[in-house]
Amino acid sequence: MTRSNATQIACIGGGYWGKNLIRNLYDLGVLSWVCEIDAERLAELRATYPSTDFTDSTNRVFGDPNTAGVVIATPAANHGELVRQALLADKDVFVEKPLCLSVEEGKQLVALAFERRRVLMVGHLLWYHPAVLQLKKLVEEGELGRVEYIYSNRLNLGKIRREENILWSFAPHDISVILGLVGELPDSVKAQGGNYLHDKIADVTLSLLSFPSGVKAHIFVSWLHPYKEQKLIVVGDRQMAVFDDLETENKLVLYPHSIKWKNHQPIPNRADARPVPVDCGEPLKAECLHFLECIETRQLPVTDGLEGLRVLTVLQQCQDALVATPWPSKSHSANGQQPYFVHESAVLDENVEIGDGTTIWHFSHVLRNCRLGNDCRIGQNVVIGPNVRIGNGVKIQNNVSVYEGVTLEDEVFCGPSMVFTILFNPRSEIRRMDELRPTLVRRGATLGANCTIVCGATIGQYAFVGAGAVVTRDVPDFALVVGNPARIIGWLCACGNRIEVKGNKRDGICRSCHRRYLKIGKEEVRAA
């Protein structure tokens, strides 16, 4: 749907975010090319936009004299080189955040755009959001009073990436807005993060910014959050403002709260919230229109290369702080003494957290990114990890390996030389570490000596796996299983003694501790 006299724009990248840019450019009648290297995705886009030219070669895009501008929506690792190529081809450029992945390269790209008199615009979408524009106006007009604190939460379950961490994926938008509201760069940056899905990639980060004017800000981002949240809160000494992008109607709300001092004590003075009316409109469409306007008028974009470079500078400061200050681990007590015992022959790798009262004996090895709870007993020649979570009060006897994919809840007992498998069909010559099947051993379960737990199984609470048994499927709570393959032969109480269930009765009792149980069906027993 291109118009002959319109400025023609190409989009490089048609993935998760690129498809939204393609839709808007097409609706505006300016989409000339779509460049996408994934053949299946390219075919889908071709079917949706049949009047557009498609290619898997950026050279065809950069070599088209009728294409005035290029939108880049590829993985961040490719941004810098594609921006450079586009500028050298004398194309105006709109690149999704971040501008690139290093401050030095960012400076070179900004200088190149200036040298070749090209538009360089960075996709900091929130500056085209009516609610954010209204928030900036409120700050500039002094409606909030003196701004004291800004904090943002950008949380979701996904989209999880492997080419960049959560800081570089989620935080640029919020950094951009905070810098714009404060009007200066921070003079102090601190950050901490946690790596859970990959030992080199942060999934959660908290960044703390301090500004010369005294304003403080924090940015909390995570792609391991149970629900989506996108909030930015500005605290002034007169009013507080909340921007909630997930609200359908009242996206910007003012809270005229204040603090009154009485008898030298601060007293909160609460007031009713007041929604702020904002214009409707899709921010991404406004962003695309602004890029077209900049091409036609040669004006500087609101989010130009310099603005992108400022955000990149703070991102890099956060990343440097993240590396310098890893997520704190419970490795030492306040008096400098270890609150746990590790034999001198045992080995602990980096980023390992050991709980109070835990003991680790001869020749055992805890690999990177493992977390052991309090009061655990780890015997001789035990291997744990990487990326393993073990609860409190767990006992692991000699010659046991607890590999990645296995989780032990509280009070689990692993008998001598028992085995966890992690792959269902291993071959030495075929790497299948991306096919791990998780194994969960729930609270209080006992795994007898020399038993084998085939990967993918869940061992229920207080279940008991007999010595030498081979478990190939889930084991119910309180079940006693033996044999190869393991089968249920009875039920055990949480105290470890038999539950007596006579005949077809549903009621059961432990003669030792007198706990009562209910038998539900053939393979389920519950505490009464």
**Contact, 426 vs 414, CB < 8 A?**
no
| Nearest CA among 361, 374, 370, 377 for reference residue 405 | 370
Query: In the predicted model, is pLDDT for residue 9 greater than 80?
Result: yes
Q: Does domain 127-281+314-324 have CATH number 3.40.190.120?
A: no
In tens, the pLDDT along 161-191 reads 887 899 999 999 999 999 999 999 999 999 9
Does the pTM exceed 0.85?
no
**Region of poorest pLDDT, from 282-291, 404-413, 494-503:** 494-503
Q: Where are the domains of the chain?
A: 9-123+286-293, 127-281+314-324, 341-527
Query: In the predicted model, is pLDDT for residue 330 greater than 50?
Result: no
426 compared with 295, residue with greater pLDDT:
295
The 3-state DSSP class for residue 500 equals strand
The pLDDT of residue 303 is 97
The pLDDT of residue 164 is 87
**Region of poorest pLDDT, from 13-22, 63-72, 201-210, 318-327:** 318-327
The pLDDT of residue 331 is 41
**Region of poorest pLDDT, from 52-56, 107-111, 152-156, 335-339:** 335-339
**Region of poorest pLDDT, from 179-188, 199-208, 297-306, 424-433:** 424-433
In tens, the pLDDT along 132-167 reads 999 999 999 999 999 999 999 999 998 888 878 999
Dihedral sign for Cα atoms in the order 166, 167, 173, 174: positive
Provide Rg for the chain, Cα atoms. Answer: 30
377 compared with 334, residue with greater pLDDT:
377
Query: In the predicted model, is pLDDT for residue 359 greater than 90?
Result: yes
Neighbouring CB atoms inside 10 A of 63's CB total 10
Residue 175's Cα: distance from chain center in Å? 17
**Between the CA atoms of 158, 163, 166 and 172, what dihedral angle is there, to the nearest 10 degrees?**
-110
Which whole number is the average pLDDT over 284-293?
97
Topology of domain 9-123+286-293, CATH: Rossmann fold (3.40.50)
Query: In the predicted model, is pLDDT for residue 225 greater than 80?
Result: yes
In tens, the pLDDT along 17-43 reads 999 999 999 999 999 999 999 999 999
CATH class, range 341-527: mainly beta
* pLDDT band at residue 335 using 50, 70 and 90 as cut-offs: very low
13: left (phi over 0), alpha (psi -120 to 50) or beta: left
The pLDDT of residue 318 is 96
**Region of poorest pLDDT, from 80-84, 191-195, 207-211, 397-401:** 191-195
Provide the pairing of β-strand 265-269 with 258-262.
antiparallel
**Region of poorest pLDDT, from 219-223, 268-272, 474-478:** 268-272
| Nearest CA among 442, 441, 465, 470 for reference residue 454 | 470
Query: In the predicted model, is pLDDT for residue 3 greater than 60?
Result: no
Instruction: Provide the 8-state DSSP code for 484.
Output: T
The pLDDT of residue 329 is 42
Averaged confidence pLDDT in the chain: 91
Length of the chain: 528
